[in-house]
Amino acid sequence: MSDQQGLFEFADLPEWEQAAAEDLQVAEVVFNLPLEKPYTYSIPDEFRELLKAGMRVKAPLGRGNRTVVGYCVNVRQAESAIRKLKPIHEVLDSEPLLNDVMLKLTHWIGERYLCGWGQVLDSVIPAGVRRKSGTRLVQSFELSSKADQLIEAGKLPKKQQTVVDVLREFTEPVAATRLCELAECGPGPITALRKKGIVTALRIRSEVSGEMLEDAVQTEDLILNSQQQQTLDKILSAVRSGEHSTMLLHGVTGSGKTEVYIRSIREIVSYGRQAIVLVPEISLTPQTIRRFRCRFKSVAVLHSHMTDSERHWQWQQIAQGQIEVVVGARSAVFAPTPNLGLIVIDEEHEPTFKQDSTPRYHAREVARYRCMQERVPLLLGSATPTLESWLRATRRQDTLLSMPDRVAELPLPPVVVVDTRNDPRIGKGSSLGRALFTSIGRALNEKGQVILFLNLRGYSPTVWCRSCGTGVKCPDCDITLTWHRDRAEAVCHSCDYSIPAPEKCPTCESAAVRYFGTGTQKLEAEVAAAFPAARVLRMDSDSMRKPGSHDEALEKFRHGEVEILLGTQMIAKGLDFPNVTLVGVIDADSMLNQPDMRASERTFQLIAQVAGRTGRSSRGGRVLVQTTNADAPSIKYASKHDFMGFAYHELQQRKETGAPPFSTVTRVIFRGMSEPQVCETAREVANKLRTVAKDLDPEARILGAAPAPITRLRGYYRFHLQIAAPSHERVKLLWQRVEGKLKLPDSVEMAVDVDPINSR
DNA sequence: AGCACGCCGACT
DNA sequence: GTCGGCGTGCTC
């Protein structure tokens, strides 16, 4: 406010203008531009009744007064001390695109994730909704207010009279084509009537498409076991309390979490409220959708492969309260439910809930804030919760609900850790060690199916010793060093520490190895050669590019048309295959040794999730994990199915190093075509941050700048730095102090990632 | 992000 | 003398 007065002194205004300002309505508008605050505009009389917060407007901006589209975020009485304001040019929406809760939520996202409110709004409102896809402006007519007296005055020709008669039967405007049809005439008589002033023309927005939801056959609720029933009772008491609470449902794979979600949702639907269920994009399969569709009458699905008009239509349906349950990926957290009753996030630990472009929000945190505002519960479910969620639960900030047993009392499959350090087959360059090789053979003989899991795509080569099994770590950052072949150096991607590539392992003195693992394609060839009788199917993002191929492949496997399924991440989750008797993790090390703070957590999650893929029938099943580091806690605890043991150990570790969730990390990424320029810019920003932090917040630590773990990406050189601080608030204060003063070269782009989920 | 304003070099 | 190079900073 004070800066505004500084520019245009209140005293400069003539007195009559001050008086006029007293009851002036003004609009606060945000743009998708790097502006810090909303700008204030006057509202011309013609828009006074029309304009509401949540609508988009066109407004003049800058000295040239170019017209820019922005979002009206508030309409209020102007304060008495007001300077001359520019007027809103145009109002683009007839109804708000967002209500007050959503406006507040998007504002919070901007603050929390360090980006502009306008940027958040632009990304949160689907393009199809903004463009009103699936609707068209239709030329329509209605009788004018003076119609009666004009008709009195003179008799009308026959055709024109018919048109008037037709219009008298409607209270609403009639579309031109429809009117011609009903009056059995051409456009002539209508034009004539318009000239006489008897009918008025207007353009009405009308829906073009509007496919109805197919009705799935409704099925009965399942009978819950006592563990599920107890959990449900706790959730229901939270639902009935009418207050917000976050509940973490820790349930092993196969414990029947989905049924508990459904029954919780049933309760809130019975109050006439709506639920939002967030699932990882990859789980948004026809099976998942069917599970909800056959239990609720109206289920909307929001996924990334929808057309603009489909999405717009769904959005409308949701906003009108026609929908009981919204199932969708990350962005469904913004579904405009008029009376929200519950948000469920399944597989809460999945990294896909973090958006990897601006605004880089985490759907869990957005959901938490939204649920707090709407005073409804948030239910997080996972067999392997994030340590962030787990810590909150153990501190009683959130409520912990546990379902430690599988339904039907199936035991979790035994997990065998295979130490491959001295394996003869691996020594000869094979990916399948002796134990795994023989186990596959046996499983196939017994007519079982096999899943082989390999995790490699997009991972960096790490410096790691094959004989003692430890990664070579940075002395300051506790993350594994990355091998740079061209420079013959081992580099830390957190702090830029580097050493010449070691000839020998610093721990056991044997020859250190730079490590490049096997890819899925190479593994496929090897498996096919080793088991020529088996049918092998490879699933990775390369072979599953076209839509639907994913489901198709899984169906093939389910029907037993394939014996061995091998692939990356995407086969680790979701579906049960009763006939799978063996799961092999080819190389747990490639994940464990990633230069990432969460490498250990990821490894645990991965093994736990793949273990959940087997042992789902009486045939039992086992899991084999190949590693050279059998003592790593993530592997040890995962083999015992001991999440709590792992969490306790890992949290201890994080506490010692001051890593999240005991601190917050914000990452700033720089990219550009010129390596020295990017590097220099990143260093400058890091130094500026350090200088400001010195007296503003001595507890904040600046790490780097350093090359990003993926140093080159699509021709860009990438560097990053990290800000570690005790709270988000303090990172914000520090960043805002520095950000304004930065002048980046045009050729270097910068992105800010609060709570990064990976540091690639 | 765009766009106006500014303050220095090569032109009719 | 002027036209225009693009660096700087502001936009209710």
Three-state DSSP at A283 gives: helix
Q: Is nucleic acid strand B under 7 Å from A742's C-beta?
A: no
Cβ(A453)–Cβ(A446) below 8 Å = no
Partners of A462 in the beta sheet? A482
Retrieve residue A552's tokens. Answer: 């198709």
From the CA of A115, how many Å to the C1' of B1? 15
Q: Which of A755, A729, A734, A593 is nearest to A659 (CA)?
A: A755
Three-state DSSP at A449 gives: strand
Strand C: which bases are under 7 Å from protein Cβ?
Answer: 8-12
- Chain centroid, CA A421 distance in Å: 39
Alpha-carbon dihedral A163, A164, A167, A173, rounded to 10 degrees: 90
Q: Which of A600, A646, A651, A649 is nearest to A627 (CA)?
A: A600
Looking at mean pLDDT, say which of A67-71, A536-540, A592-596 comes out highest.
A67-71
Q: Of residues A687 and A2, which shows the higher confidence score?
A: A687
pLDDT digits (tens, 9 = 90+) for A446-462: 888 898 888 755 455 67
Give strand letter and number of the nucleotide nearest A35 (CA to C1').
C11
Q: Is nucleic acid strand B under 7 Å from A155's C-beta?
A: no
Give strand letter and number of the nucleotide nearest A1 (CA to C1').
C12
Has residue A702 got a pLDDT over 50? yes
Give strand letter and number of the nucleotide nearest A59 (CA to C1').
C12
Helix A257-270 / helix A226-241 crossing angle, nearest 10 deg: 30
At A541, the pLDDT band (50, 70, 90 cuts) reads: low
* CATH 3.40.1440.60 placement within chain A: 7-130
DSSP state of A362: B
Q: What whole-number distance in Å separates Cα of residue A367 and Cα of residue A343?
A: 7
Q: Which residue has the tokens 């959990």?
A: A231
From the CA of A448, how many Å to the C1' of C3? 82
At A398, the pLDDT band (50, 70, 90 cuts) reads: very high
What pLDDT was estimated at residue A514?
54
Q: Is nucleic acid strand B under 7 Å from A34's C-beta?
A: yes
Q: Is nucleic acid strand B under 7 Å from A532's C-beta?
A: no
What pLDDT was estimated at residue A21?
46
Retrieve residue A757's tokens. Answer: 């989920």
Give strand letter and number of the nucleotide nearest A39 (CA to C1').
C12
Retrieve residue A619's tokens. Answer: 């045939």
A371 annotated as belonging to a binding site for a ligand = no
Ranges A427-431, A544-548, A682-686, A756-760: which has the least confidence: A544-548
Give strand letter and number of the nucleotide nearest A41 (CA to C1').
C12
From the CA of A744, how many Å to the C1' of B7? 22
From the CA of A31, how many Å to the C1' of C5? 31
For residue A288, count other CB atoms closer than 10 A to its CB.
20
For residue A750, count other CB atoms closer than 10 A to its CB.
17
A492 annotated as belonging to a binding site for a ligand = yes
Strand B: which bases are under 7 Å from protein Cβ?
Answer: 1-5
Q: What percent of chain A has pLDDT over 70?
A: 88
State the nearest residue by CA to the C1' of C11: A62
Has residue A167 got a pLDDT over 90? no
At A14, the pLDDT band (50, 70, 90 cuts) reads: very low
From the CA of A148, how many Å to the C1' of B10? 75
* CATH 1.10.10.10 placement within chain A: 135-207
From the CA of A64, how many Å to the C1' of C11? 10
Q: Is nucleic acid strand B under 7 Å from A197's C-beta?
A: no
Query: Which distant-in-sequence residues (6+ apart) come within 8 Å of A218 by Cβ?
Result: A294, A295, A297
From the CA of A742, how many Å to the C1' of C8? 13
User: Whole-number mean pLDDT of chain A?
Assistant: 86
Q: Is nucleic acid strand B under 7 Å from A743's C-beta?
A: no
- Chain centroid, CA A45 distance in Å: 41
Q: Is nucleic acid strand B under 7 Å from A154's C-beta?
A: no
Supply the CATH classification number for the domain A135-207: 1.10.10.10
At A499, the pLDDT band (50, 70, 90 cuts) reads: confident
From the CA of A326, how many Å to the C1' of B10? 66
Q: Is nucleic acid strand B under 7 Å from A64's C-beta?
A: yes
Q: Is nucleic acid strand B under 7 Å from A33's C-beta?
A: yes
From the CA of A359, how many Å to the C1' of C6? 32
Fold that domain A410-461+517-655 belongs to in CATH: Rossmann fold (3.40.50)
Give strand letter and number of the nucleotide nearest A7 (CA to C1').
C12
A115 annotated as belonging to a binding site for a ligand = no
Find out if CATH 3.90.1170.50 is the number for domain A226-407.
no
Give strand letter and number of the nucleotide nearest A34 (CA to C1').
B1
Q: Domain A7-130 maps to which CATH number in 3.40.50.1980, 3.40.1440.60, 3.40.309.10, 3.40.50.720? A: 3.40.1440.60
Most distant CA pair in chain A, distance: 109
Give strand letter and number of the nucleotide nearest A61 (CA to C1').
C11
Give strand letter and number of the nucleotide nearest A33 (CA to C1').
B1
Q: What whole-number distance in Å separates Cα of residue A585 and Cα of residue A612?
A: 13
Q: Considering the entire predicted model, what is its pTM?
A: 0.86
* CATH 3.30.70.600 placement within chain A: 664-754
DSSP A582-599: EEEES-THHHHTSSSTTH
For residue A44, count other CB atoms closer than 10 A to its CB.
14
From the CA of A63, how many Å to the C1' of B4? 7
Handedness of CA A508, A513, A514, A516 (dihedral sign): negative
A508 annotated as belonging to a binding site for a ligand = yes
Ranges A36-40, A439-443, A486-490: which has the least confidence: A486-490
pLDDT digits (tens, 9 = 90+) for A631-654: 999 999 999 999 999 999 999 999
Q: What whole-number distance in Å separates Cα of residue A559 and Cα of residue A485?
A: 45
Cβ(A747)–Cβ(A677) below 8 Å = yes
Average confidence (pLDDT) over A405-418: 83
Partners of A328 in the beta sheet? A278, A302
Q: Which of A361, A324, A384, A345 is nearest to A261 (CA)?
A: A345
Retrieve residue A380's tokens. Answer: 């997080």
Has residue A74 got a pLDDT over 80? yes
Give the DSSP H or E segment for A372.
Answer: helix A363-374
**Domain A664-754 is of which CATH architecture?**
2-Layer Sandwich (3.30)
Q: What whole-number distance in Å separates Cα of residue A565 and Cα of residue A582?
A: 11
From the CA of A31, how many Å to the C1' of C11? 11
Q: What whole-number distance in Å separates Cα of residue A230 and Cα of residue A313?
A: 39
DSSP state of A495: T
Give strand letter and number of the nucleotide nearest A32 (CA to C1').
B1
From the CA of A62, how many Å to the C1' of C3? 25
Has residue A148 got a pLDDT over 50? yes
Give strand letter and number of the nucleotide nearest A62 (CA to C1').
C11
A679 annotated as belonging to a binding site for a ligand = no
Q: Which of A217, A287, A226 is nearest to A260 (CA)?
A: A226
From the CA of A744, how many Å to the C1' of C7? 13
Query: Strand C footprint at Cβ < 7 Å?
Result: A 3-4, 7, 33-35, 37, 39-41, 60-63, 65, 85-86, 743
A453, with CB counted inside 10 A (0-12, 13-18, 19+), is buried
Query: Which distant-in-sequence residues (6+ apart) come within 8 Å of A279 by Cβ?
Result: A288, A327, A328, A329, A346, A347
Q: How far from A87 is each of A12, A57, A84, CA to CA, in Å?
A: 20, 11, 10
Q: What whole-number distance in Å separates Cα of residue A482 and Cα of residue A479?
A: 9
Average confidence (pLDDT) over A319-346: 97
From the CA of A60, how many Å to the C1' of C5? 29
Give strand letter and number of the nucleotide nearest A26 (CA to C1').
C12
Q: Residues 65-94 of A near strand B (Cβ < 7 Å)?
A: 66
A294 annotated as belonging to a binding site for a ligand = no
Q: What whole-number distance in Å separates Cα of residue A340 and Cα of residue A122?
A: 23
Looking at mean pLDDT, say which of A44-48, A77-81, A200-204 comes out highest.
A44-48
Q: Of residues A229 and A716, which shows the higher confidence score?
A: A229
Q: Which of A319, A318, A218 is nearest to A327 (CA)?
A: A318
Has residue A7 got a pLDDT over 50? no
Q: Is nucleic acid strand B under 7 Å from A740's C-beta?
A: no
Give the DSSP H or E segment for A110.
Answer: helix A100-112
State the nearest residue by CA to the C1' of B1: A33
What pLDDT was estimated at residue A401?
98
For residue A380, count other CB atoms closer than 10 A to its CB.
27
From the CA of A63, how many Å to the C1' of C1? 30
